[in-house]
């Protein structure tokens, strides 16, 4: 039970570090895309990031498996910033099929790429796995080239409010407590830290059947031979099944499975996933670190002792960032709900398209309103803290969709600043045409043969 006493901090003067047009808080996929895009559109842009690198979960959380960007026909529906980032990675740092194979149903290709998480439901997809260090470098270089001011090792601790308008953010670092003033702040913390502190309503209910609320520290094993592991799984499938069942029954967890990396001698584990913890409770975060490390030692021992390809495995690295899938979700001007995408609803303020979670549903329309808070101005929320229901969160939280939202938030913010209006009053037609010019895939009104701009 926490101590119930309170203390009062004395009020103090905070030096203004800088003023900018667009301040992006959080340098994960959404924040990196937002900062790169705002600067591309001419905005004086600052990104604040609490760790020493960009990429958030996609680098520091070891979530290097970039989920599907193609639909079930093999059409690329997430492009724009996704292409800008992925095209910059050296080819040897990307594990994924060339574009001419996307959408293939050839059984041999499906089997090969299925092992490498690039084929689902019998279709080859564009869902590559990338090297995290390479992605950090590419992300940083992109922002440097565009002239974004990066402030790393900087933790945003409070919004600066003028009534119901956010005017900037106070942050803390080794330099002390400082302020940044901005025309628009984009909350890309993933956890909605800024909108929560600004008093915007949010929610946190979960879909208990889905993994979206689970949390854990991901890790990598070195010294493995993944090809040998896949060969054994295919050639001795019955023995493989027995070994795995023995592990699962012994408490390993059915999600303790390796994921292929661009290098054959490294295996990534994004589980075992833990339930029942809050990503915004410091004691829970501490407990998840401790428990995850216990679990990864069990996984290492099991694989080393039982699975071909893992006999020389060792614990190469553990993710420096807590693997948080879900915490706060904005209550926004629009909330994306399951019925929207099962019924193929097209939003008039659509700023991007997501592949559906399964082949039964059509491509999913993402609205600008899902990033706009109710009742708070000068602020947007991009990334996994968007306004949606838990079923929708299960897939709109993924890395490519966060790139889409970050890019769109920046276009909306910059367009609003240039027009001298609040972001909630921005001309959505102008935002959409700017996004299309930047290569973002959008549903067209009518007339195009496949209904998409690409």
Site of interaction with ligand FAD (CB under 6 A): 25-31, 48-51, 56-58, 61, 63, 65-67, 155-156, 188-191, 193, 216, 218, 270, 323-325, 383-384, 397-399, 402
Q: Which helix (H) or strand (E) holds 113?
A: helix 107-115
Of 141, 138, 160, nearest to 150 (Cα)?
141
Closer of 107 and 199 to ligand FAD (Cβ): 199
- The least CB distance from residue 421 to ligand FAD, in Å, is 26
Give CA–CA dist 32/57, Å, rounded: 12
Handedness of CA 179, 180, 186, 189 (dihedral sign): negative
Q: Helix (H, G, I), strand (E, B), or coil: what is residue 324?
A: strand
In the three-class reduction of DSSP (H, G, I as helix; E, B as strand; rest coil), residue 194 is classed as: helix
Q: With respect to ligand FAD, which residue has the nearer C-beta, 114 or 383?
A: 383
Q: How far is the CB of 54 from ligand FAD (least distance, A)?
A: 7
Residue number, 66 or 224, with CB nearest to ligand FAD: 66
Rounded least distance, CB 192 to ligand FAD, Å: 9
Cα–Cα distance, 233 to 241 (Å, whole number): 8
CA distance 80 to 267: 29
Toward ligand FAD, which CB reaches closer, 381 or 423?
381
- The nearer residue to ligand FAD, 193 or 350, going by C-beta atoms, is 193
Supply the minimum distance, in Å, between the C-beta of residue 101 and ligand FAD.
Answer: 20
- Whole-number CA gyration radius for the chain: 22
In the complex, minimum distance from the CB of residue 426 to ligand FAD, in angstroms, rounded to a whole number: 21
Residue 339 to residues 71, 78, 174, 343, 346, Cα–Cα distance (Å): 19, 22, 47, 6, 12
Spatial separation of the C-alpha atoms in residues 46 and 224, rounded to whole Å: 41
Cβ nearer to ligand FAD, comparing 139 with 365: 139
Could you tell me the smallest distance in angstroms from the CB atom of residue 339 to ligand FAD? Answer: 23
Cα–Cα distance, 209 to 13 (Å, whole number): 48
């Amino acid at each position: 039970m926490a101590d119930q006493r309170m203390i009062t901090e004395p009020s103090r003067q905070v030096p203004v570090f800088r003023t900018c047009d667009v301040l992006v808080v959080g340098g994960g996929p959404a924040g990196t895309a937002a900062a790169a895009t705002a600067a591309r559109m001419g905005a004086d842009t600052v990104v604040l990031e609490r760790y020493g690198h960009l990429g958030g979960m996609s680098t520091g959380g070891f979530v290097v498996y970039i989920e599907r960007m193609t639909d079930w026909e093999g059409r690329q529906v997430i492009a724009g910033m996704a292409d800008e980032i992925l095209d910059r990675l050296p080819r040897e740092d990307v594990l994924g099929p060339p574009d001419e194979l996307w959408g293939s149903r050839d059984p041999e290709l499906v089997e090969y790429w299925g092992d490498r998480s690039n084929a689902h439901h019998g279709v080859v997809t564009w869902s590559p796995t990338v090297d995290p260090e390479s992605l950090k470098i590419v992300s940083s270089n992109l922002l440097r080239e565009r002239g974004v001011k990066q402030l790393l090792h900087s933790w945003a601790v409070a919004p600066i409010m003028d009534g119901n308008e956010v005017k900037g953010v106070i942050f803390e670092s080794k330099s002390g407590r400082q302020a940044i003033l901005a025309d628009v702040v984009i909350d890309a913390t993933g956890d909605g830290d800024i909108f929560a502190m600004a008093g915007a309503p949010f929610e946190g209910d979960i879909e208990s059947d889905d993994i979206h609320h689970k949390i854990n520290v991901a890790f990598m094993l070195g010294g493995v031979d993944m090809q040998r592991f896949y060969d054994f799984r295919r050639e001795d499938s019955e023995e493989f099944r027995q070994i795995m069942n023995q592990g699962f029954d012994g408490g390993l967890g059915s999600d303790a499975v390796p994921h292929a990396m661009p290098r054959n001698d490294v295996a990534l584990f994004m589980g075992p996933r833990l339930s029942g913890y809050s990503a915004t409770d410091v004691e829970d975060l501490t407990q998840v670190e401790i428990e995850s490390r216990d679990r990864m030692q069990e996984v290492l021992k099991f694989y080393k002792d039982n699975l071909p390809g893992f006999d020389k495995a060792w614990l190469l690295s553990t993710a420096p960032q807590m693997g948080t899938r879900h915490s706060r979700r904005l209550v926004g001007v629009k909330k994306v709900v399951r019925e929207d995408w099962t019924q193929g609803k097209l939003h008039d303020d659509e700023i991007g398209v997501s592949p559906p979670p399964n082949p039964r549903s059509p491509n999913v329309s993402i609205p600008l309103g899902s990033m706009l808070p109710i009742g708070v101005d000068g602020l947007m929320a991009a990334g996994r803290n968007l306004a949606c229901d838990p079923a929708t969160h299960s897939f709109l939280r993924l890395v490519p969709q966060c790139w889409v939202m970050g890019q769109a938030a920046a276009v909306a913010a910059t367009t609003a600043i240039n027009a001298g209006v609040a972001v909630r009053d921005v001309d959505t037609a102008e935002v959409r045409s700017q996004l299309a010019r930047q290569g973002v895939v959008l549903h067209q009104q009518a007339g195009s043969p496949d209904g998409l701009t690409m």
